[in-house]
Amino acid sequence: MLDHLFYTLQLADNALILGHRLGEWCGHGPVLEQDIALTNISLDHIGQARSLYQHAAHLTNEIPQEQRAKIFQSVTLNNKINSGELLQEDDLPYLRDAWDFRNALLTEQPNGDWAYTVARSFFYDVFYFLYYTKLKDSKDAQLAAIAEKSLKEVAYHQRWSSEWMIRLGDGTEESKTRIQNAVNDYWQYSGELFVMSDAENAMLKKGIGVDAAALKPEWDAKVEAIFKEATLSIPEEKWMQKGGKQCRHSEHLGFILAELQYMQRAYPGMEW
């Protein structure tokens, strides 16, 4: 049961944190049309996160009360659980601290310039397109339904970020340098997507989760094809950062949460 919850949270946290990051662009994009496009993508991620958190809240509520109070290390959340109240959509995103979050490190990396944002999304979108294609056959009907709905969105995201990779790579000297730098810097966060967490291993066995590691060859092929068209080189660096999926994060997540959870922290228990 716990693995099922953690698995769902992993998906939810990825969607939320990336959606939050992309939302930071709103009003600051390089051109109006792309500001609108990026906000649409952000909205898709937040929408996915909402469905996933509803499911995660439900899974938490199914766990017996005394066990439930020992899952998380966040005081406000545990207080709520101890009071006997059932969790809802917003409790898990707004009341957990960083060491309870399970998103991949990639999603919490800063927006940087447009090139960094594009590179981060590209790695993520190619992965999630493959991932949701498998997840739609999950034995968890809820997750399968979310995956199926999200797949349409992710197909669009993938097209958007792939096209921008190519445009920037094969655009001007400056854009090529910038996107290559971004790729070089964020490459080390791409590997974690394929490292199976404990929850992923457990859910794979039950026919609920996806074999992320098995997606690597397809991901490589797609990335290689786009890089070729974009005239970019694949970084030689093989060392990959990991930890986010097991709740060990970079310094960035704490700051993201400080903003994201600001209202819940300053005015605990109030509804808005």
Partner 1 sequence: MSDQNNNKAEWPLWEVFIRSKAGLDHKHVGSLHAADAEMAIENARDVYTRRMEGVSIWVIESKYIHASDPDNAASLYEPANDKIYRHPTFYDLPDELKHM
Partner 2 sequence: MTVRDFQEAFDEKIDKEIAIEPRDWMPDNYRKTLIRQISQHAHSEIVGMLPEGNWITRAPSLRRKAVLLAKVQDEAGHGLYLYSAAETLGITRDEMVEQLHSGKAKYSSIFNYPTTTWADIGAIGWLVDGAAIMNQVALCRTSYGPYARAMVRICKEESFHQRQGYEILLHMSKGTEIQRKMVQDAIDRWWWPSLMMFGPTDDDSPNTAQSMRWRVKRFTNDELRQRFIDVTVEQCKILGMELPDPELKWNEERGHFDYGPIDWEEFWNVVNGNGPCNRERLKARNDAWEKGAWVRDAALAYSEKRKKRAKEADTKAA
Which residues contact partner 2 (rule: CB under 8 A)?
Answer: 16, 20, 23-24, 26-36, 39-40, 42-43, 46-47, 49-50, 53, 89-90, 93-94, 113-114, 166-168, 170-172, 174-175, 178, 259-260, 262-264, 267, 270-272
Tell me if 157 sits within 8 A of 121, measured CB to CB.
yes
CA distances from 249 to 72, 106, 160 (A): 16, 10, 28
Give the C-alpha separation, 209 to 123, whole Å.
20
Using CB under 8 A as the binding rule, whether residue 36 contacts partner 1 is answered as: yes
Q: Using CB under 8 A, which of 70, 139, 152, 206 touches partner 1?
A: 152
Binder of residue 156, out of partner 1, partner 2, none (CB less than 5 to 8 A by kind):
partner 1
90 or 185, CB closer to partner 2?
90
- Which ranges of the chain would DSSP assign to H, the alpha helix? 2-23, 32-62, 65-68, 75-82, 91-95, 105-108, 114-135, 141-169, 173-186, 198-205, 216-229, 252-260, 262-266
Using CB under 8 A as the binding rule, whether residue 111 contacts partner 1 is answered as: no
60 or 162, CB closer to partner 1?
162
Give the C-alpha separation, 69 to 73, whole Å.
9
Q: What is the DSSP letter of 135?
A: H
What's the min distance (Å) between Cβ of 144 and partner 1? 20
Interface residues with partner 1 (CB under 8 A) are 31-34, 36-37, 40, 152, 156, 159-160, 163, 167
